[in-house]
Amino acid sequence: MSNIKENTCKVPYGINDEKRYEIDNLPYHFTIFATNKENQDEILKIAESINIDKIQLKVNDIKIMNVKHNSYCLYLSIEENQQIMELQRIFYREFPKEKYNPDDFNFHMTLDIDKDYNKVLNLQKTLKENFKSFFLEFNTVALFDYLGDMVKKINLNKNNKK
């Protein structure tokens, strides 16, 4: 992505459309769950109680999906992964929100959101020219306040505080 000359934005439409690019300070990430700010303390409590080993994901493609406000999301897709589904299920059990049901959720890493389908399609073609599947692993999660300020980073493996 650092070699792409076009401006990209991870902020969805419907927040502050005129300033999307200016307010986009989110790092590249996989969303596990999202909820209202009033649930923040409970979400942190749940995350701090989790004790799991590293989760390994295989990033296998660059795809496009329709998203809200007649826009298109260019994203990295991952192979189905039971570990990340179970991690999401922990939060889903406490705050059932159908959008984040791990049995139906499209786990992805957003690269760009735009209303111009041709722009998104051209970006996808450019990125796919040199794309090769790769693995990522993680054992931390972070809670971000929308629009991207980190509230707290939490290690999921309590036996390894690194």
For residue 63, the enclosing domain spans 17-155
Q: Across the chain, which distance is largest between two alpha carbons, in Å?
A: 48
In a domain, 11, yes or no: no
What contacts 97, CB < 8 A, 6 or more positions away?
33, 34, 35
Angle (CA) 139-91-137 rounded to 5° is 20
Residue-level pLDDT at 161:
54
Q: With CA atoms as reference, report the closest residue to 83 among 16, 28, 135, 10.
A: 135
Cα–Cα distance, 20 to 13 (Å, whole number): 8
pLDDT of residue 27: 85
pLDDT score, position 147: 65
- pLDDT reported for residue 38: 93
- Residue 26 in domain: yes
pLDDT score of 121: 97
Number of structural domains (the chain) is 1
- Six-digit token string for 47: 């995350």
Of 104, 81, 80, which is closest to residue 92 (Cα–Cα)?
104
Q: Give average pLDDT by consecutive 10-residue segment, the chain, 162 residues.
A: 87 87 86 90 94 93 96 96 95 93 94 96 95 94 82 85 51
CA 8 vs. chain centroid, Å, equals 15
Residue 3 included in any domain: no
**Is there a domain that residue 57 lies in?**
yes
Residue 32 falls within a domain, yes or no? yes
Neighbours of 64 (CB within 10 A): 16
Residue 84 within a domain: yes
d(CA 38, CA 60): 36
CATH code of the domain covering residue 34? 3.90.1140.10
On whether residue 7 sits in a domain, the answer given is: no
Residue 160 within a domain: no
What pLDDT is recorded for position 28? 87
Q: How far is CA 19 from CA 9, 36, 41, in A?
A: 10, 22, 29
Contact 64, 73 (CB under 8 A): yes
